[in-house]
């Protein structure tokens, strides 16, 4: 006879309600884990997107994600000619805010040279950029769809393709355009400003600098040797992909990551206390029944089983409800919530440990109960 | 073992709490023998030591000194572990409480068969025995019902069935009729007498219920921890 299940069935509504409450708490914990992962994944998405091996950036800087980086656009030709370089492409980044329908879209504009590294790796819908000007490939999260047109700077761009998971470390969805369009967007003046400049006799500003040149190396090439060689140039610096990722995490998202990590730790501690309290209270409410069980001769293992099984069922149910709820609502979050099976399994492990520890408190109290308690009216 | 055999043998048992100025003597040199088939009432004012004596015989409380032999087994002789005493309770002692103390999450039948489950009976045999006992106590129609839905009399009969399930030879009852009306109290006592005779068991009851005094073979009076009258 399984006393734990019988007791649960007896107070099923209350138990389910408790599990649901715990489930909501687990939803928050899982959401925080997901947000934490999402923050890191989002931050790395933009670095990983070009599938580069080496980043050539402005000397003395840490690259375009950590700080401003500006190098001559023709650096690409110089870099491309180096031994071990298979492909090189200049790339540019900027954030713009543009009106679209009745809202303002905040976009992370990535300018790249078509046919060279830096563009989207996988087009989820539509096609890649096929003309030199005024075409866009947008991340789905922009809300743009194929065929939409949007005004950016002085020009109107058509959406010809859609990608997924392209954004900057702040979570702004990315749009890809040609490098020429991106540089124009960055430097071209509005018509009125242009007229003022023309009246002053000043020529139009034409920038010939890009944020970085990204490099893919030939098979077997020594990346370290290549970066070391590039660093010998005074106006350029070179970073391997791993260095770039580490810089991004350390410089850009580190504080946010630590903040969320700390909050997650507090949340886990609170969850542990709540679980312990629920289980302890559940046990305390049953002390008279436990005394009766002892009096009629139930061995300790029966009483321990009753408490431990119930706490494990409670913890597992709470974890399960939390998992289902977060899977249902994770796409509603404005930023990505990334849950890895490993995280979910680790949380399950933590819950089991917490439940067992909390049961320990209950078991201790239960084993101390004097069976004579049952005799008193 | 048969009718007339000594099932409970309490020899010079004393129990005190605290030491020095705070010492309270709950029992002082109590001797008591209860034979199979006997139905005995333990009487006395509050604080006279009735419950202490019942708890010692029920292996719930250790005596400070003296010897207790239950159904031929000397207990509290230093050789028994607490878990052994619990097993002894399961096998040899049945408890009937004033407030029936049925487990609220089990049905009437499950409350009875739980004892058999703990004693290692096969589940099917346990269920059969539970139904048989409930039938005997005329509450089998309430077998699938939870205690909250039983009347006071029904609950007490289910509690008696539970106490008797594993065929214990020593039945300890603490105010078993306190929550019952006069008619029901007489019925319960008749039942206990009948069981004592049929199962060759002894029944030791703490009670203040004068209306059932005539149903006991012996009335044992306790005052200030001493047996004063038998």
CB contact, 8 Å: B90 with chain A?
A: yes
Q: In this structure, are residues B225 and B49 in contact, taking their beta carbons and an 8 Å threshold?
A: yes
A56 lies in the same domain as A34: no
Closest-CA distance, B57 to chain A, in angstroms, reads: 12
Q: Which three-class secondary structure state does DSSP give residue A142?
A: helix
Residue B185 pLDDT: 80
Residue A377 pLDDT: 43
Q: Confidence class of residue B224 from pLDDT cuts 50, 70 and 90?
A: confident
Residue A213 pLDDT: 92
Give the pairing of strands A212-217 and A85-100: antiparallel
* Of A117, A148, A154, residue with least CA distance to A133: A154
Q: Which three-class secondary structure state does DSSP give residue A1?
A: coil
Closest-CA distance, A144 to chain B, in angstroms, reads: 58
Separation of alpha carbons B126 and B143, rounded Å: 13
Looking at the structure of chain A, the number of domains it has is 2
Separation of alpha carbons B95 and B82, rounded Å: 18
Torsion sign across C-alpha atoms A69, A70, A71, A73:
positive
A62 lies in the same domain as A210: yes
A35 lies in the same domain as A76: no
Separation of alpha carbons B223 and A134, rounded Å: 106
Query: Can you say how many angstroms the Cα of residue A9 is from the centroid of all Cα atoms in its chain?
Result: 40
Residues 6+ apart with CB under 8 A from B119: A297, B90, B91, B166
Q: In this structure, are residues A86 and A216 in contact, taking their beta carbons and an 8 Å threshold?
A: yes
Residues 6+ apart with CB under 8 A from A51: A117, A121, A216
* Cβ atoms within 10 Å, residue B185: 21
* Of B14, B30, B24, residue with least CA distance to B65: B14
Mean pLDDT across chain B, nearest whole number? 84
Average pLDDT over residues A37-44: 84
Assigned token pair, B148: 């909250």
For B86-107, what is each residue's pLDDT tens digit?
788 888 888 887 777 889 999 9
Residues 6+ apart with CB under 8 A from B56: B10, B13, B15, B27, B62, B63, B68, B76
Please indicate whether, in this complex, the C-beta atoms of B110 and A300 are within 8 angstroms of each other: no
A20 lies in the same domain as A57: no
A60 lies in the same domain as A8: no
Please indicate whether, in this complex, the C-beta atoms of B83 and A300 are within 8 angstroms of each other: yes
CB contact, 8 Å: B114 with chain A?
A: yes
Average pLDDT over residues A100-119: 90
Q: Which three-class secondary structure state does DSSP give residue A305?
A: helix
Compute the CA torsion angle B170, B176, B182, B187 (nearest 10 deg): -40
User: Which one of A10, A297, A374 has the shortest CB-CB distance to B87?
Assistant: A297
Buried b (16+ CB within 10 A) or exposed e, A28-48: bbbbbbbbbbbbbbbbbbbbb
Among chain A residues, the shortest Cα distance to B55 is held by A372
* Cβ atoms within 10 Å, residue A170: 15
A204 lies in the same domain as A58: yes
A193 lies in the same domain as A65: yes
CB contact, 8 Å: B54 with chain A?
A: yes
A154 lies in the same domain as A242: yes
Please indicate whether, in this complex, the C-beta atoms of A375 and B83 are within 8 angstroms of each other: no
**DSSP string across B31-93:** EEEEETT-EEEEE--TTSSHHHHHHHHTTSS--SEEEEEETTEEESSS---HHHHHHHHHHHE
A1-15, A70-84, A286-300, B177-191: segment of lowest average pLDDT: B177-191
A112 lies in the same domain as A237: yes
Task: Give B-chain residues touching A371 at CB under 8 angstroms.
Answer: 60
Separation of alpha carbons B99 and B156, rounded Å: 8
Residue A362 pLDDT: 87
Residue A106 pLDDT: 92
Task: Give B-chain residues touching A289 at CB under 8 angstroms.
Answer: 103-104
Assigned token pair, B55: 């708890």
Task: Give A-chain residues touching B87 at CB under 8 angstroms.
Answer: 297, 299
Structural domain ending residue among the three candidates A218, A252, A286: A252
CB contact, 8 Å: B83 with chain A?
A: yes
Structural domain ending residue among the three candidates A198, A225, A252: A252
Residues 6+ apart with CB under 8 A from A217: A53, A54, A84, A85, A86, A223, A226
Structural domain ending residue among the three candidates A209, A228, A252: A252
Please indicate whether, in this complex, the C-beta atoms of A297 and B86 are within 8 angstroms of each other: yes
* Residues in B 13-32 with any Cβ partner in A closer than 8 A: none
Q: In this structure, are residues B219 and B54 in contact, taking their beta carbons and an 8 Å threshold?
A: no
* Of B63, B77, B53, B58, residue with least CA distance to B16: B63
Among chain A residues, the shortest Cα distance to B121 is held by A1
Among chain B residues, the shortest Cα distance to A10 is held by B105
Full set of structural domains in chain B with CATH:
6-18+25-102+168-229 (3.40.50.300)
A250-254, B131-135, B186-190: segment of lowest average pLDDT: A250-254
Among chain A residues, the shortest Cα distance to B83 is held by A299
Residue A174 pLDDT: 92
Task: Give A-chain residues touching B86 at CB under 8 angstroms.
Answer: 294, 297-299
Q: Confidence class of residue B1 from pLDDT cuts 50, 70 and 90?
A: low
Q: Could you identify the residue written with the tokens 């139930």?
A: A298
Assigned token pair, B75: 């207990």
Please indicate whether, in this complex, the C-beta atoms of B86 and A7 are within 8 angstroms of each other: no
Establish whether this prediction's ipTM goes over 0.85. Answer: no
Sheet holding B24-35, edge to edge: B24-35, B6-17, B65-70, B73-75
A90 lies in the same domain as A185: yes
User: What are the backbone angles phi and psi of residue B8, rounded to the nearest 5°?
Assistant: -125, 120
Average pLDDT over residues B63-83: 78
* Of A290, A288, A275, residue with least CA distance to A363: A290
Separation of alpha carbons B121 and B115, rounded Å: 9
Range of the domain at A82: 49-252
Average pLDDT over residues A90-99: 90
Closest-CA distance, B97 to chain A, in angstroms, reads: 6
Q: Confidence class of residue B164 from pLDDT cuts 50, 70 and 90?
A: confident
Q: Which three-class secondary structure state does DSSP give residue B9?
A: strand
CB contact, 8 Å: B110 with chain A?
A: yes
Q: What is the DSSP letter of A173?
A: B
A144 lies in the same domain as A105: yes
Task: Give B-chain residues touching A297 at CB under 8 angstroms.
Answer: 86-91, 93, 115, 118-119
* Of A175, A207, A202, residue with least CA distance to A188: A207
Separation of alpha carbons B49 and B10, rounded Å: 14
Q: Around A35, how many Cα atoms within 13 Å sit in the side-chain half-sphere?
A: 21
A135 lies in the same domain as A213: yes
Separation of alpha carbons A341 and A22, rounded Å: 20
Q: Around B82, how many Cα atoms within 13 Å sit in the side-chain half-sphere?
A: 12
* Residues in B 161-220 with any Cβ partner in A closer than 8 A: 162, 174-175, 178
Q: In this structure, are residues B31 and B12 in contact, taking their beta carbons and an 8 Å threshold?
A: yes
Average pLDDT over residues A354-361: 87
* Cβ atoms within 10 Å, residue B191: 17
Average pLDDT over residues B66-81: 78
């Amino acid at each position: 006879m399984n006393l734990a299940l019988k007791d649960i069935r007896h107070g099923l509504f209350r138990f389910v309600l408790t599990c649901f409450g715990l489930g909501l708490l687990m939803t928050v914990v899982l959401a925080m884990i997901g947000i934490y992962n999402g923050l890191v994944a989002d931050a790395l998405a933009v670095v990983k997107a070009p599938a580069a091996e080496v980043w050539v950036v402005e000397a003395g800087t840490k690259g375009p994600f950590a700080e401003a980086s500006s190098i001559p656009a023709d650096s690409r030709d110089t870099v491309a000619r180096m031994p071990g370089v298979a492909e090189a492409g200049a790339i540019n980044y900027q954030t713009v805010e543009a009106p679209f329908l009745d809202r303002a879209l905040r976009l992370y504009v990535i300018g790249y040279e078509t046919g060279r590294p830096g563009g989207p790796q996988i087009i989820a819908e539509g096609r890649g950029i096929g003309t030199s000007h005024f075409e866009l490939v947008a991340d789905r999260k922009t809300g743009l769809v194929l065929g939409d047109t949007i005004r950016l700077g002085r020009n109107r761009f058509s959406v010809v393709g859609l990608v997924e998971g392209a954004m900057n470390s702040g979570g702004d969805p990315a749009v890809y355009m040609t490098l020429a369009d991106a540089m124009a967007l960055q430097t071209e003046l509005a018509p009125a400003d242009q007229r003022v400049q023309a009246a002053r006799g000043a020529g139009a500003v034409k920038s010939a600098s890009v944020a970085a040149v990204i490099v893919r190396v030939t098979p077997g090439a020594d990346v370290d040797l290549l970066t070391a060689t590039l660093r010998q140039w005074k106006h350029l610096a070179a970073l391997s992909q791993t260095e770039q990722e580490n810089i991004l995490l350390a410089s850009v998202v580190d504080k946010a990551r630590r903040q969320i990590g700390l909050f997650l730790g507090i949340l886990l501690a609170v969850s542990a206390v709540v679980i312990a309290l629920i289980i302890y209270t559940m046990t305390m409410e049953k002390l008279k029944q436990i005394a009766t069980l002892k009096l009629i001769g139930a061995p300790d293992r029966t009483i321990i089983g009753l408490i431990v099984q119930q706490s494990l069922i409670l913890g597992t149910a709470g974890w399960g409800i939390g998992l289902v709820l977060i899977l249902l609502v994770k796409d509603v979050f404005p930023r990505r919530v990334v849950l890895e099976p490993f995280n979910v399994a680790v949380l399950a492990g933590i819950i089991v440990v917490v439940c067992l520890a909390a049961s320990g408190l209950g078991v201790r109290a239960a084993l101390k109960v004097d069976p004579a308690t049952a005799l008193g009216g | 073992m048969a009718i007339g055999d000594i099932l409970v043998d309490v020899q010079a048992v004393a129990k005190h709490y605290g030491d020095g100025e705070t010492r309270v003597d709950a029992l002082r040199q109590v001797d008591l023998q209860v034979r199979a088939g006997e139905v005995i009432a333990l009487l006395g004012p509050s604080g006279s030591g009735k419950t202490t004596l019942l708890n010692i015989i029920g292996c719930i409380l250790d005596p400070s000194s003296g010897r207790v032999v239950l159904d031929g087994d000397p207990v509290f002789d230093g050789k028994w572990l607490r878990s052994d005493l619990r097993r002894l309770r399961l096998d040899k002692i049945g408890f009937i409480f004033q407030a029936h103390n049925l487990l609220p999450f089990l049905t009437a039948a499950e409350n009875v068969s739980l004892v058999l489950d703990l004693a290692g009976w096969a589940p099917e045999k346990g269920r059969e025995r539970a139904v048989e006992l409930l039938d005997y106590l005329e509450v089998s129609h309430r077998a699938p019902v939870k205690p909250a839905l039983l009347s006071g009399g029904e609950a007490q009969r289910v509690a008696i069935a539970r106490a008797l399930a594993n065929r214990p030879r020593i039945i300890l009852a603490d105010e078993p009729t306190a929550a019952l009306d006069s008619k029901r109290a007489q019925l319960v006592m008749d039942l206990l007498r009948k069981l004592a005779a049929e199962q060759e068991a002894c029944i030791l009851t703490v009670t203040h219920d004068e209306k059932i005094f005539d149903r006991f073979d012996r009335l044992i009076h306790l005052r200030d921890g001493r047996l004063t009258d038998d």
